[in-house]
Amino acid sequence: FPEMLSNPKLALVQGTLNVVMKQNVTLSCLSESGSPPVRYTLFKHNQQVSALNRSDLTPALFTLTISSANDVGQYKCKAEYNISSGGKYSNSLNFTLAEPVSKPVLSSPTSHAKKGQNVTLSCLSENGSLPITYLFFKGTQTISPQKTMQKREAAVIFLFIDSLSDFGTYKCKANNSFPNNSKYSNGFNFTLAEERSHSQPLIISLGLILLLLLIGLAVAIPFFIIPLYKASE
């Protein structure tokens, strides 16, 4: 009688679980205990994909080409003797389709800033397979370490506006596991907020006082100056 089969192990030996179209992946299926020959069958969502017979204790290798969205999903394999009606099932591997990132949007709660102010910049791609890595630039120079987001949320950096040179053009870049598909955002510029002069309120106050004095003088002429002029005649 053949030795009892152990549950086979399904493993990825070539490729990644996060796949792109036209990508080849190779899976291995092996029961570590059992007596050859063994028949290995690969399933995708309970539908048979392929079957191989092994006459020794080497794994069955299944090569797949991801040609459509129907090729991703959960895979398992089954090991069985040809003479038996039962079999043992493996762990499952789940393939997901990599989606390229969309053009990220760079934004800030404020577009006006002045020297000595703290500001923030946010970068977000609305579409694309997670995780997504973001990088911020001012001109062509990076201004922060890479930020990898595991959730669909913006990467945020904090900046201190120290001089006029900090008012250049900012951009961010987004990329994920989809190959050769980095996307750059729109450019964002902070504008210099006008700072009111400390002397300006004083000038306005003096002008109002002078205006009130002129109005008071104009009102006083008919009541005081004219009667005094007539009395002197």
Say if residue 112 is in the same domain as residue 182: yes
**CATH code of 161's domain:** 2.60.40.10
Given 67, 97, 127, the domain boundary residue is: 97
Q: Is residue 184 part of a domain?
A: yes
Same domain, 93 and 109: no
At residue 127 the predicted structure's pLDDT band, cuts being 50, 70 and 90, is very high
Domain extent for 16? 9-97
Q: Is residue 182 located within the same domain as residue 126?
A: yes
165: pLDDT strictly greater than 90: no
Total structural domains within the chain: 2
pLDDT at 200 over 70: no
162 shares its domain with 136 = yes
**Tens digits of residue pLDDT in 84-119:** 667 999 999 999 988 899 999 999 999 888 888 999
Is residue 147 a part of any domain in this protein?
yes
Q: What is the pLDDT of residue 213?
A: 78
DSSP code per residue over the chain: -PPPPPPPEEEEEES-SEE-TTEEEEEEEE-SS--S-EEEEEEETTEEEEEEEESSSS-EEEEEEE-SGGG-EEEEEEEE-TT-S--EE---EEEEE--PPPPPEEE-S-SEE-TTEEEEEEEE-SSSPSPEEEEEEETTEE-S--EEESSS--EEEEEEE-SGGGGSEEEEEEE-SSTT--EE---EEPEEPPPPPTHHHHHHHHHHHHHHHHHHHHHHIIIIIHHHHHHT-
- C-alpha span between 12 and 6 (Å, rounded): 19
Q: pLDDT band for 199, please (50, 70, 90 cuts).
A: very low
